């Protein structure tokens, strides 16, 4: 919603917005864009008399401002529908869907198109460091001063649209190029099982035109989606298990994380970069395939990715004190936690990793994934879990790794325990999809 607000502001509208507990980097970005941010949901805000209220999916019935909007019969629309009608219509939309990696992959794709001179618009659920903003309208390419770019990259979320529209957000976007990055069970608060999510992903596939392209991970759950019907061009990508002749594949990964990119058996180039993890190699492969669909040669995409700077809150170094490095990462699903820790392990070798976890997503709060937590943290040397406001016992869930795991309900006690345990040469990896009470800076200050 913050990104949509930025796009509306750039389009020339006056934009105000309200929310509870807004934190950086989105809060600071909104302020920098001159967007008026109001704390809370007071019915008094109707006195601003806007032309339309754009409603995010965090708003539900019972919200005092929403109730006032309904009582007065004021005009409202969902964020995704407003976006589709006012920004995406007539554009070549490149949508990135998947349980994991949407933000990073869409950031990579926007950067590749920018590097290639295509000046795309984009809407991303994070702040790509190559751009410094999470959203912008399409720009005028340097080589074409007469018209704006037709391309728009969007992070395509499967979460529901709004309280009055229970379809996944991505059905509104109508992409010409669709990336299906991966698919696992998540969002237990709105989906009963994996099959329900697969059905929504197929709704997305149904909207891709015949001349469009679906770029899909060669994964069992996504294969079931494709098998329901695909009417567009289709290219698969995957790791070593994907035959080189089948689509996009990676080979010859070296100790520094460099790797060769192949398409249908033909080597396209070697990517050398500082981004960690096998999951990010898969993200890069999908991006190279999607960019090729809009005319970016794989060699140019590989060149661009070598200069990709990642996204804020994705393995972002928050500081180094006394030779102790503190990272911030958005990981909250056990699979994302596992791949994040594994990626850091591949970089730091035998150095100690102190994993600091706040399981605060809706799915984690419901306890659906709690049994998978211990395995996801195996690569960490010590685990510190903050379980305030959980509906289940984190200490019990982590019993199988109790020799290295500790659980805290008080943030200050958590910080003290991490500070006492940390030694020079250690890496503190903080994982949460929220602000986590500013714990990163608290840890750095305490160590100092």
At 126-152, the pLDDT tens digits run 888 899 888 999 999 987 777 899 999
Give the residue with greater pLDDT, 390 vs 170.
170
Cis peptide leading into residue 25 (ω within 30°): yes
**Domain check: are 252 and 296 in the same one?**
yes
Cβ(20)–Cβ(39) below 8 Å: yes
For residue 84, being part of any structural domain is answered with: no
Three-state SS letters, 96-124: EECCCCHHHHHHHHHHHHHHCCCCCEEEC
Cβ(279)–Cβ(99) below 8 Å: no
**Domain check: are 357 and 436 in the same one?**
yes
pLDDT digits (tens, 9 = 90+) for 298-325: 999 999 999 998 777 777 889 999 999 9
Calculate helix-pair angle for 220-227, 194-206, nearest 10 degrees: 50
Q: What is the CATH number of the domain that holds 349?
A: 3.90.190.20
**Domain check: are 249 and 175 in the same one?**
yes
**Domain check: are 113 and 70 in the same one?**
no
For residue 311, being part of any structural domain is answered with: no
pTM of the model: 0.78
Confidence of residue 188 (pLDDT cuts 50, 70, 90): low
Backbone φ/ψ region at 8: left (φ over 0), alpha (ψ -120 to 50), beta: alpha
Give which of 341, 348, 423, 332 is closest to 378, Cα–Cα.
Answer: 341
Confidence of residue 187 (pLDDT cuts 50, 70, 90): low
Long-range contacts of 30-38 (CB under 8 A, 24+ apart): 30/2, 30/5, 30/6, 33/5, 33/6, 33/9, 33/133, 34/9, 35/5, 35/6, 35/9
pLDDT of residue 255: 77
Owning domain of residue 220: 90-305
Cβ(274)–Cβ(241) below 8 Å: no
Q: What is the CATH number of the domain that holds 53?
A: 3.40.50.720
For residue 208, being part of any structural domain is answered with: yes
Residue with tokens 């309904």: 70
**Helical ranges in 33-101 per DSSP H:** 64-72, 79-83
pLDDT digits (tens, 9 = 90+) for 259-294: 999 999 899 999 999 887 888 899 999 999 999 999
DSSP state of 128: B
**Domain check: are 397 and 360 in the same one?**
yes
Give the pairing type, strands 213-217 and 233-238.
parallel
DSSP for 290-319 reads: HHHHTT--HHHHHHHHTT---BTTSSEEEE
**Domain check: are 287 and 340 in the same one?**
no
DSSP state of 131: T
* Count of domains observed in the chain: 3
- Please tell me the distance from the alpha carbon of residue 293 to that of residue 95, in angstroms, as a whole number: 13
**Domain check: are 237 and 256 in the same one?**
yes
**Domain check: are 238 and 339 in the same one?**
no
Q: Residue 38, exposed/middle/buried by CB under 10 A (0-12, 13-18, 19+)?
A: middle
**Residue 444 pLDDT > 90:** yes
Contacts of 71 (CB under 8 A, 6+ apart): none
Q: Which two tokens stand for residue 34?
A: 């001159």
- Find the angle CA(117)-CA(119)-CA(122) to the nearest 5 degrees: 140
Kind and range of the H or E run holding 259: strand 259-263
Cβ(18)–Cβ(122) below 8 Å: no
- Please tell me the distance from the alpha carbon of residue 81 to that of residue 168, in angstroms, as a whole number: 11
For residue 18, being part of any structural domain is answered with: yes
Q: Which two tokens stand for residue 276?
A: 């960690």
**Domain check: are 170 and 274 in the same one?**
yes
Residue with tokens 């149904």: 206
**Residue 191 pLDDT > 60:** yes
Q: How many angstroms separate the Cα of 65 from the Cα of each of 2, 5, 105? A: 18, 18, 35
**Domain check: are 282 and 342 in the same one?**
no
Q: What is the CATH number of the domain that holds 187?
A: 3.40.1190.10
Last residue of a domain, one of 278, 305, 332: 305
- What's the whole-number mean pLDDT along residues 87-99? 96
Last residue of a domain, one of 244, 275, 305: 305
Contacts of 75 (CB under 8 A, 6+ apart): 51, 52, 53
**Domain check: are 356 and 295 in the same one?**
no
For residue 58, being part of any structural domain is answered with: yes
Kind and range of the H or E run holding 76: strand 76-78
Last residue of a domain, one of 43, 74, 105: 74
Confidence of residue 256 (pLDDT cuts 50, 70, 90): confident
**Domain check: are 274 and 371 in the same one?**
no
Give which of 108, 261, 97, 272 is closest to 186, Cα–Cα.
Answer: 97
Mean pLDDT comparison of 17-31, 196-210, 381-395, highest-scoring range: 196-210
């Amino acid at each position: 919603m913050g990104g949509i607000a930025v796009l509306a502001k750039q389009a020339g509208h006056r934009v105000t917005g309200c929310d509870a507990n807004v934190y950086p980097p989105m809060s600071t970005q909104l302020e920098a864009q001159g967007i008026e941010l109001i704390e809370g949901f007071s019915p008094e805000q109707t006195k601003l008399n806007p032309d339309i209220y754009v409603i995010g999916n965090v708003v539900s019935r019972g919200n005092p401002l929403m109730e006032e909007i309904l009582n007065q019969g004021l005009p409202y629309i969902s964020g995704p529908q407003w976006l589709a009608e006012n920004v995406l219509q007539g554009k070549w939309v490149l949508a990135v869907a998947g349980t994991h990696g949407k933000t990073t992959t869409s950031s990579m794709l926007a950067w590749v198109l920018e590097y290639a001179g295509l000046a795309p618009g984009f809407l991303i659920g994070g702040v790509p460091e190559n751009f410094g903003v999470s959203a912008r309208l399409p720009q005028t390419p340097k080589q074409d001063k007469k018209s704006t770019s037709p391309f728009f990259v969007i992070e395509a979320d499967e979460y529901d649209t709004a309280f009055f529209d229970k379809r996944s957000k991505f059905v509104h976007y109508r992409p010409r190029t669709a990336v299906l990055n991966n698919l696992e069970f998540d969002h237990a608060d709105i989906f009963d099982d994996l099959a329900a999510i697969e059905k929504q992903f197929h709704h997305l596939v149904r909207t891709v035109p015949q001349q469009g392209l679906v770029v899909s991970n060669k994964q069992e759950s996504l294969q079931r989606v494709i098998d329901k019907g695909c009417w567009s061009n289709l290219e698969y990508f995957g790791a070593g298990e994907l035959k080189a002749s089948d689509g996009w594949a990676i080979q010859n990964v070296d100790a520094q994380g460099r790797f060769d990119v192949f398409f249908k058996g033909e080597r396209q180039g070697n990517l050398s970069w500082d981004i960690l993890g096998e999951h990010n190699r898969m993200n890069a492969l999908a991006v190279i395939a999607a960019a090729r669909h809009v005319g970016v040669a794989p060699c140019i995409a590989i060149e661009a990715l070598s200069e990709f700077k990642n996204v804020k809150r994705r393995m972002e170094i928050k500081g180094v004190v006394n030779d102790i490095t503190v990272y911030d990462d958005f990981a909250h699903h056990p699979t994302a936690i596992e791949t994040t820790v594994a990626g850091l392990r591949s970089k730091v070798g035998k150095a100690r990793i102190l994993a600091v976890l706040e399981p605060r997503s809706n799915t984690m709060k419901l306890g659906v994934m709690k049994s998978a937590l211990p395995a996801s943290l195996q690569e960490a040397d010590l685990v510190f879990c903050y379980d305030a406001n959980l509906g289940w016992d984190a200490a019990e869930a982590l019993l199988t790794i109790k020799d290295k795991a500790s659980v805290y309900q008080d943030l200050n006690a958590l910080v003290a325990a991490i500070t006492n345990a940390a030694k020079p040469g250690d890496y503190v990896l903080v994982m949460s999809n929220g602000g986590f009470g500013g714990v990163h800076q608290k840890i750095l200050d305490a160590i100092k």
